[in-house]
Amino acid sequence: MRIARPEHWGLRRTLAIGLTGGLLLGMTALGVAQITWAVGPWYPVWLRVAGALMVATGFWSASWVWIAFLNAERRVQEGLSLPRGIAGFATNCLVALIVPLLIGHQLHGMLYAWHAHHFTPTPTAELRLLPERNPDGSDVLELYGPMGIGTTHKLQHWLAQYPWVRTLQLDSPGGLAPEAIGVAQLIQLHQLDTAVVSRCEGACIVALAAGSRRLASPQAILRCHKPYMPVVGGAHTLTATDRHLLRWLTAQGVDPQLAQHCFQRPAWDAYTPDPEALHSAWLITHWLPAPQSQ
């Protein structure tokens, strides 16, 4: 059986084959996103897979447009009217453009983390045991600095080394959304309380909301905003990353209205809730008591 060359497919067949490939790439993107959000031991590898998948999607779409152009040119030469040839080519181009936009929308958070890891590295947060202890004598571990690649792994190592830690104090300007989810999952796994004395901004809010109890000093700075701006649309457009973090926060009991408001504000115009709103929205459950020295 002889297989027709791509430039002999025809415009409808080109559209069908292009959509089929786009659908397969989209399903792969969904799987990669789910695995990456788990922040497992192979997490950095899956970030690279997400980057490679986006490159492959771009190559597929560019090839699709080129083949559609060759087919439109051939069909017009064979007698197809010029308006119909242009319409068929334009339809293929439009769908070929939509496919990478949808896949980029799905992988937005992973692509940002991949880019930050390889081109503009976000430092890994540091950890230290504080001299102050909780009233019950358990230790307080402080996580400070941005949540870059490796923060989850570092926290996992510290919690294994110091199993008597019961409170994770956060002092972070934010960081990568997948790392914040990874930190939050460890907080829940070890049933830790979370506390903020100085500041907790951006993705740090996700980790704060994972605490069994969420304590904060009335003087603490708590700001929330979108982790990344969408490729298409303004700040009010919720990306797949925004929706994932929104579901996470609401699952922890945070008021959905507050959570959604957070993810509709860009980083340069972060939302700073007042103390009463923080408490009523269940982001803060208790005001931080005075620590006791060891």
Per-residue pLDDT tens for 206-226?
Answer: 999 999 999 999 889 999 988
The pLDDT, as a whole number, for residue 61 is 95
Using the structure block, give the residue that is written with the tokens 């070890």.
190
Beta bridge partners of 126: 144
Residue type, 189: L
Structure tokens at 192: 């830790």
pLDDT over 60 (residue 5) = yes
Of all residues in the chain, what percent carry a pLDDT higher than 70? 94
The pLDDT, as a whole number, for residue 3 is 53
Of all residues in the chain, what percent carry a pLDDT higher than 90? 51
Q: Compare 294 and 132 and report the one with higher pLDDT.
A: 132
pLDDT over 70 (residue 230) = no
Q: Compare 202 and 9 and report the one with higher pLDDT.
A: 202
The pLDDT, as a whole number, for residue 68 is 93
Q: How confident is the model at residue 200 (pLDDT cuts 50, 70, 90)?
A: very high
pLDDT over 90 (residue 159) = yes
Per-residue pLDDT tens for 51-95?
Answer: 999 999 999 999 999 999 999 998 899 888 999 999 999 999 999
The pLDDT, as a whole number, for residue 133 is 86
Q: How confident is the model at residue 231 (pLDDT cuts 50, 70, 90)?
A: low
Residue type, 14: T
Highest mean pLDDT among 148-152, 191-195, 240-244, 258-262: 191-195
The pLDDT, as a whole number, for residue 294 is 44
pLDDT over 80 (residue 113) = yes
Lowest-confidence pick of 29-38, 94-103, 143-152, 198-207: 29-38
Q: Compare 280 and 25 and report the one with higher pLDDT.
A: 25
The pLDDT, as a whole number, for residue 49 is 92
The pLDDT, as a whole number, for residue 7 is 67
What's the whole-number average pLDDT of the chain? 88
